[in-house]
């Protein structure tokens, strides 16, 4: 007889190591360690911005190590625009806005792939303006 003490988690489509290699390639990082620094920083910050069902669904699609980083912090009280997200992350990591924007785009392009188009659309629908470009999508703006 098998008993389950916790719900089983479906296997992610990508291992953490594979995710790091994809980010390393996308960001042209010289080492896997540098790619991992970017992944951990960006996912921790993103976890503070994504809430509700979308947060749970995205965590389920990330490799376990990435999901832990993403869900380690509770959602932030202040919702940041895409540019505010980059500036805040740069201040916390000691990076420049330009390198932090590069890191963010490198990581979030891989996260977008893992999320899939439908979930990514839902995530972008709950975030303030400016995140679509960070995920590698065009920012659509309604005319006044």
Tens of pLDDT, residue by residue over 123-140, are 999 999 999 999 999 876
pTM exceeding the 0.85 threshold for the entire prediction: yes
Domain boundaries, the chain: 16-134
pLDDT at 142: 55
* CATH code that applies to domain 16-134: 1.10.490.110
Query: Which residue positions in the chain have pLDDT lower than 50?
Result: 1-9
pLDDT value, residue 1: 47
Q: What is the pLDDT of residue 141?
A: 61
Question: DSSP characters for the chain?
Answer: ----SS---PPPSS-HHHHHHHHHHHHT-SSHHHHHHHHHHHHHHHHTT--HHHHHHHHHHS-HHHHHHHHSSPPPSSPPPHHHHHHHHHHHHT--HHHHHHHHHHHHHHHHHHH-HHHHHHHHHHSPTTHHHHTT--------
């Amino acid at each position: 007889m098998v008993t389950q003490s916790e719900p089983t988690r479906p296997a992610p489509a990508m291992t953490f190591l594979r995710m790091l290699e994809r980010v390393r390639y996308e960001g042209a990082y010289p080492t896997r360690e540098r790619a991992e620094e970017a992944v951990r920083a960006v996912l921790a910050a993103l976890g503070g911005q994504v809430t509700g069902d979308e947060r749970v669904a995205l965590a389920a699609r990330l490799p376990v190590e990435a999901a832990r980083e993403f869900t380690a912090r509770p959602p932030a009280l202040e919702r940041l625009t895409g540019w505010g997200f980059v500036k805040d992350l740069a201040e916390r990591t000691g990076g420049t806005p330009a390198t932090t924007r590069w890191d963010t785009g490198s990581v979030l392009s891989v996260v977008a792939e893992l999320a899939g188009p439908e979930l990514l659309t839902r995530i972008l629908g709950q975030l303030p303006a400016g995140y679509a470009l960070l995920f590698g999508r065009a920012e659509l703006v309604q005319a006044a």
